[in-house]
Structure 1
Amino acid sequence: MYLGRKAIPLISALALSASAFAAQAETDLKFALDWRYEGPAAGFLLAEDMGFFAEEGLNVTIDTGTGSVNTIPRVASGLYDMGFGDMNSLIKFLDADPAQPVTGVAMVYDKPTFAIVGRKSLGITEDPKSVEGKTLGAPPPDGAFAQWPIFQEVAGIDTSTVTVESIGFPVREPMLANGDVDGVFGFAFSVILNLKAQGTPEEDIVNILMADHGLELYGNAILANETFAAENPEAVTGFLRAVIKGFAAAIEDPAAGAAAVVARDATLDPAVEEERLQMAIDMNINTPWAQENGMGGIDAARLDASFEALKAPMGLTGAVGPADVFDSSFLPAAEERMLP
């Protein structure tokens, strides 16, 4: 039916109104990474670039971080709605103040990437006890350094002979490359490749991955501000579904993942970031457990064991338990979380 020329303004107004409603219906979500734009962040960035967030009705802002420990208070304070941080540091954070509104909602690093990286020429070997009598550089906000109290116990390290020097992230690899310290704490895929970029020969680099020496903990997880999650449960689930798709895409095409990272920071080397991403996929993300059960979930018994392992070294009071630090109710269905 022809409505006549007078109807045109009405139709236009209705169209604008519908458009405005659609824009209002899109949920804004602020997300904090644990660190800079590097290869392992590819899953988050591809979720944005490939339109997976948009498909979920989300307008996501992704910011860099300053360490996997520092992400936790940023999310708890509401500065960020969600973030990427260390699960073990979250346990300690909530044990100190259970009222803080932050929880884990999806596991990403099923096997933690915490490491002490040293140099053979400085006396470090694959035996954790080789750090005895040595000087180790430790950035205070680093997730790997946060595990030092428990790792020294499970690995039987005599810490009375170890000197730990507080250093900043920017000088960590240069100091090790120059021999100013014998080893450093950090995420393996970050330190190793950054050290190679400093000119250290690959054959001189030693990676003491804590998970291979008795530290059976979880690594970085996606965190959510509990107030935001309670008010926007579908947005949280949609975010997780989009990110899992993003990581699946990165696993299938690591070069595309590296390109997404370099698009945010042109100073990066695509080949280096692809190698870093592949290391994270193989070592931490696409583990046998994740292959069998899908990305994002946890083994309840393993998380229980983490609390026991962390209790004495971290001085936990028992104020919180596993249900207080991880909420699996926001996860998409298992079939939507399977990795290639």
Structure 2
Amino acid sequence: MSETRNITRRSALKFGVAAAASLPFSSSLFGRATAQEQVKFTLPWIPNGSSYWPMIGKEIGVFAKHNIDMSVARGFGSVAAAQAVASGQFDFGMVFAGGNFLAAARQLPIVVIATVYYDPIMGIALRADSPIKTPKDLEGKKLGTVPTSAESPFWPAFAKNAGIDMSKVSLVQVDSKVIERALIDKQVDATTAVGTSSIPLIAAMGERPRFLPWSRYGVELYAGQIVTRPEIVEKNPELCQKVVDSVLGCYAHTLREPQSSLELFAKVMPEVGLTRGGMESARIAQGLTQLATQRPEAIENSLGWSDLDKIPGMIDLIMEFGAPKDAVRPDPATLVTNRFVGNVKLTPEEWAKVKENTSEFAAYLGES
């Protein structure tokens, strides 16, 4: 499962490849370094409003505070990013839960050490004037999908939970580069989508989409998670703590200062500001991501907290709809831990401000 597109994807591709190629190799993770420890960190996809925050760690002084020197590279989808961490190409990564759980089901060495936000916002994208109001209204309509996208494997799960007769829906395979345009041009009636990618793109085309999130129908997965390998947790837990506190510290900064954080993002990745609609796309993606962070896990505990009671059900979802037949169900107890979270918290007043700042984005999802 790979993350879908962002408005900056084409212009940023050259940047991403160059950044990945220029990453320095990290020093030994298992020794006690007196200087800053070098860390290689991968994102799940091209940096965008839903994933950029580790890129501003140097600018806001978070990495220096924790005595690490983190190099951040773009990813090529969550499955590939999880594999890159498991293989040792990177020390840590921010990877969507689906990719992490699938990697574990393939018996790759990976462990989740924090959950950054709690809903990948998979769902159905619709035009504003669409007559489709409920999931059942999809029957008799054309539904566009990208078979290799993050959400596509879970369409049957949503259809089942929402009472949709899949035989009455015409599933149309669409190229990832044109799927939003296919919706706007009425080549299809609706599309499967990841909201943080498709909603900003559609908005950049001058349309205001509507969206039906699948999480309201029991298709629940966590979204961005910080991952590493079990051997690093075992041999260098101090570094794991530094990375979790640093990355969550970056994210907390974006929650408290969303606009200035986006400006820093454009500073470290100028392509964002140069691309038509790039900053607005990043702003919408960031707002939707911050909506998906306002959950009891983070508000009542701390940023990064995972509800361990929810993990088995998410693994079951992956095993039924996303994993190959030879996959082995991973052990939830060894796959996800809260050992390193708890240090980065927002006050009730700060959470209230986050809610206020994200209220406009809630409308895309039909929330008040």
TM-score by length of 2: 0.75
Corresponding pairs, count: 311
The equivalent of 2:176 in structure 1 is 169
The equivalent of 2:160 in structure 1 is 153
Q: Could you report, residue by residue, the CA deviation over 1:297-334 in whole angstroms, capped at 9, with x for unpaired residues?
A: 111212233334555444686632212321333x14x2
User: Is this contact kept in 2: 1:68–1:220, CA < 8 A?
Assistant: no
Could you tell me which amino acid in structure 2 is paired with residue 252 of structure 1?
A: R
Alignment gaps of 5+ in structure 1: 1-21
User: Is this contact kept in 1: 2:114–2:244, CA < 8 A?
Assistant: yes
Shift of 1:241: 0.3
Shift of 1:191: 0.9
Q: Do the aligned partners of residues 226 and 139 (structure 1) sit closer, same or farther apart at CA in structure 2, a change above 3 Å counting?
A: farther
Q: Please identify, of 300-309 and 52-61, the stretch whose mean Cα deviation from structure 2 is larger.
A: 300-309
Q: 2:78 aligns with which of 64, 68, 71?
A: 68
Regions of 4+ moved over 6 Å: none
Shift of 1:34: 1.8
Could you tell me which amino acid in structure 1 is paired with residue 332 of structure 2?
A: P
Could you tell me which amino acid in structure 2 is paired with residue 212 of structure 1?
A: R
Partner SS, residue 90 of structure 2: coil
Partner SS, residue 300 of structure 1: coil
Q: Do the aligned partners of residues 162 and 32 (structure 1) sit closer, same or farther apart at CA in structure 2, a change above 3 Å counting?
A: farther
The equivalent of 2:118 in structure 1 is 110
Instruction: Provide the aligned C-alpha RMSD in A.
Output: 2.7
Q: Please identify, of 69-78 and 101-110, the stretch whose mean Cα deviation from structure 2 is larger.
A: 69-78
Q: Could you report, residue by residue, the CA deviation over 1:162-208 in whole angstroms, capped at 9, with x for unpaired residues?
A: 343444433232222222333223321321121021232x1xx2201
Fraction of identical pairs, as percent: 24
The equivalent of 1:287 in structure 2 is 295
Q: 2:36 aligns with which of 7, 26, 31?
A: 26
In 1, distance between residues paired with 2:266 and 2:123? Answer: 25
Structure label with greater radius of gyration:
1
Q: Is 2:228 aligned against 1:220?
A: no
Shift of 1:220: 2.4
In 1, distance between residues paired with 2:265 and 2:178? Answer: 22
What aligned pairs does 1:1-340 form with structure 2 within 5 A after superposition? 25-95=35-105, 97-98=106-107, 100-121=108-129, 123-125=131-133, 127-200=134-207, 202=208, 205-263=209-267, 264=269, 265=271, 266-268=273-275, 269-282=278-291, 284-314=292-322, 319-329=329-339, 331-332=340-341, 334-338=342-346, 340=350
In 2, distance between residues paired with 1:69 and 1:172? Answer: 21
User: Is this contact kept in 2: 1:89–1:146, CA < 8 A?
Assistant: no
Indicate the structure with greater helix content: 1
In 1, distance between residues paired with 2:114 and 2:78? Answer: 15
User: Is this contact kept in 1: 2:153–2:321, CA < 8 A?
Assistant: no
Q: Please identify, of 191-200 and 265-274, the stretch whose mean Cα deviation from structure 2 is larger.
A: 265-274
In 2, distance between residues paired with 1:279 and 1:213? Answer: 19
In 2, distance between residues paired with 1:27 and 1:267? Answer: 33
In 2, distance between residues paired with 1:102 and 1:60? Answer: 20
